[in-house]
Amino acid sequence: MTTIPDSHRDLLGAQVATLATIGGDGRPQLSELWFLTEGDTVRLSLNTARQKTRNLRRNRACTLLILDLANPYRYLEIRGDAEIEPDPDYSFADKLGAKYNADLRERDQPGDSRVIVTIRPARVRAWG
């Protein structure tokens, strides 16, 4: 596993990141989302009804881009393959929601479910 350089580790505390997945037509799909990190591992809570989740189930390749809002010429790009596991009791969703003072259940429709998406860096590019 590739590691995040110390020079850009502060970006792991950012509020949002951009997730790039590959759609069924082969084109990229980008989504802004919330995330948590543990060391060099990034974890997301995704609703299973969303396109990005369907994309990752079809093709696990993804990229997470974290932009330094104070200096948009500085960023961290993390490429990897998504590992997807169910979150039936919302235990991870609750942990993520606590970072943002939000209850993710309120964002889901009746019958929706959530998964935990783990991205371990296969390639990291730090710029700026």
Domain ranges, ordered by start, for the chain: 6-123
The answer to whether 20 and 62 have CB atoms below 8 angstroms apart is yes
Q: For residue 1, with 0-12 CB atoms within 10 Å meaning exposed, 13-18 middle and 19 or more buried, which class applies?
A: exposed
**CA torsion sign, 1 to 95 to 69 to 56?**
positive
Q: Per the structure block, which two tokens stand in for 16?
A: 């949002």
Question: Is the pTM value of this prediction over 0.85?
Answer: yes
Of 83, 27, 22, nearest to 58 by C-alpha is 22
For residue 118, count other CB atoms closer than 10 A to its CB: 17
DSSP result, 43-90: EEEEETTSHHHHHHHH--EEEEEEE-TT-TT-EEEEEEEEEEEE-TT-
pLDDT, residue 9, reads 96
| Number of residues that make up the chain | 128
Of 66, 49, 60, nearest to 115 by C-alpha is 49
pLDDT, residue 1, reads 66
Q: Which residues in the chain come in under a pLDDT of 70?
A: 1
Q: Does domain 6-123 sit in CATH 3.40.190.10?
A: no
